Amino acid sequence: MAEHADAPEETPPGAAGSPARTPPEVDRVAASRKAVAARRARASLKRDVSMRVIEPQQLFERALADPTSPAGTMRVPEFLTSLPAIGEGKRDRILEELSISPVKRLGGLGARQRAVLRRFLDARFPPQRARGGRSRLVVLAGPTAVGKGTVAGYIKEHHPEILLSVSATTRPARPGEIDGEHYYFVDDAEFDRLIETDQLLEHATVHNKYRYGTPRGPIEAALQAGRTVLLEIDLQGARQVRAAEPSATLVFLLPPSWDELVQRLVGRGTEGAEERARRLRTAKRELAAQHEFDFRVVNEDVASAAREVVESVQVPSR
């Protein structure tokens, strides 16, 4: 093929004057690989938006910052159908309302179209606001394997002034886990007693299996002494804490991408395929609840995520 590249008879009709050259085979292979990679990157970004790992506005800003990026080369209709609760019918109505042609790519929108799309996104997906009057009781929640335990462990090591609450659980101890340090390992009867005597601030059955609960005493004592208290608990627990202590600061930990979350779950190697699939279904539901939280922290890098969690109590409400 390559030897014909310059042959004039290969010039397609209509390519007036431009000596259309068929690119050498290697270039075409490279180009098609690049196109496949770009499609994959766009698919992965769309997954992030539909799973709510990133906000639609974030994808849009990335597109504007770099029109040649996966976000920038995404067509507007593709973007719209990746948004939560927008199907093809709604997509077409929105395009018409915003007067944006379906062939447009996000990175190629004109100033007016950018402005109307941004207004549409802000109205439909209002940016999150931290509530005022929040206390030093910090709840850290987030989907399975996002790194809650890792970030909480980092905070425990680097911030001895912060109390990391130790939960009670009916789950058996894993090798290396110490009673009273990682959890208070109790049986069902003891867990019932803790509930009946009102010793738990919240409690829940997690992953349909074992019961977990937050002992109330140590938290109240630490808060009274002016310390920050960190609870690393699941979504049901976070909701109960908010109901019991509305001033609690709620932080939702996010993965950098959905693909990375799956990688972390697989990489941790503590669950089989069936359990992993079940946890990922739960993760999708949990991600959909992130607007109930005051802050979203992306766990890209453990130290930075830990810093953001620690600083959340100091952030004034907006």
Ligand X SMILES: Nc1nc2c(ncn2[C@@H]2O[C@H](COP(=O)(O)OP(=O)(O)O)[C@@H](O)[C@H]2O)c(=O)[nH]1
Ligand Y SMILES: Nc1ncnc2c1ncn2[C@@H]1O[C@H](COP(=O)(O)OP(=O)(O)O)[C@@H](O)[C@H]1O
Which residue among 50, 82, 167, 299 contacts ligand X (CB under 6 A)? 167
Answer for the pair 251, 147: CB distance below 8 angstroms, yes or no: no
Let me know: does 46 contact 78? Beta carbons within 8 Å.
Answer: yes
- The backbone torsions φ and ψ at residue 200, rounded to the nearest 5 degrees and listed phi first, read -110, 130
User: Taking CB within 5 to 8 Å according to partner kind, which of ligand Y, ligand X, none is near residue 237?
Assistant: ligand X
Pick the stretch among 75-83, 154-162, 221-229, 231-239 that binds ligand X (CB under 6 A): 231-239
CA distances from 222 to 34, 277, 309 (A): 55, 38, 18
Choose the binding region for ligand X from 52-60, 105-113, 185-193, 205-213 (rule: CB under 6 A): 205-213
87 is in an annotated binding site: no
| Joined tokens for residue 44 | 């992965």
* Closer to ligand Y by Cβ: residue 72 or 255: 255
103: Cβ contacts below 8 Å, ≥ 6 apart = 75
* Nearer to ligand X (CB atom), residue 120 or residue 185: 185
Is residue 154 near ligand X by the rule CB under 6 A?
no
Measured between alpha carbons, how far is 227 from 163 in angstroms, rounded to an integer? 7
Smallest distance, ligand X to C-beta of residue 200, A? 8
Contacts of 278 (CB under 8 A, 6+ apart): 207
Query: Which of the choices ligand Y, ligand X, none does residue 167 contact, using the CB cut-off of 5 to 8 A by kind?
Result: ligand X
Please report how close the Cβ of residue 162 comes to ligand X at its closest, in angstroms: 17
Rounded to the nearest whole angstrom, what is the least distance from the CB of residue 116 to ligand X in the complex?
A: 41
Cβ nearer to ligand Y, comparing 104 with 182: 182
The label of the residue with tokens 């766990």 reads: 299
Give the one entry of ligand Y, ligand X, none that residue 171 binds, where binding means its C-beta sits below a cut-off of 5 to 8 angstroms depending on kind: ligand X
Does 68 show up as a binding residue in the annotation? no
Q: Contact at 8 Å (CB) between 74 and 106?
A: yes
Q: Which is nearer to ligand X, 167 or 257 (CB)?
A: 167
Phi, psi of 202 (to 5 degrees): -155, 160
**Stretch of 84-92, 98-106, 125-133, 201-209 lying at the interface with ligand X (CB under 6 A):** 201-209
Smallest separation (angstroms) from ligand Y to the CB of 153: 7
DSSP strand pairing (210-215 vs 200-206): antiparallel
Beta carbon of residue 128, minimum distance to ligand X (angstroms, whole number): 21
Is 147 marked as binding a ligand?
yes
Check the annotation: does 156 bind a ligand.
no
**Stretch in the footprint of ligand X (CB under 6 A) among 112-120, 199-207, 284-292, 305-313:** 199-207
206 binds ligand X (CB under 6 A): yes
Q: Is 104 annotated as a binding residue?
A: no
State yes or no: 145 annotated in a binding site.
yes
The entry of ligand X, ligand Y, none that residue 146 binds, CB within 5 to 8 Å by partner kind: ligand Y
Cβ–Cβ < 8 Å for 293, 247 = no
143 binds ligand X (CB under 6 A): no
Which residues define the annotated binding site for ATP? Answer: 142-149
Which residues are near ligand X by CB under 6 A? 148-149, 167, 171, 202, 204, 206, 212-214, 232-234, 236-237
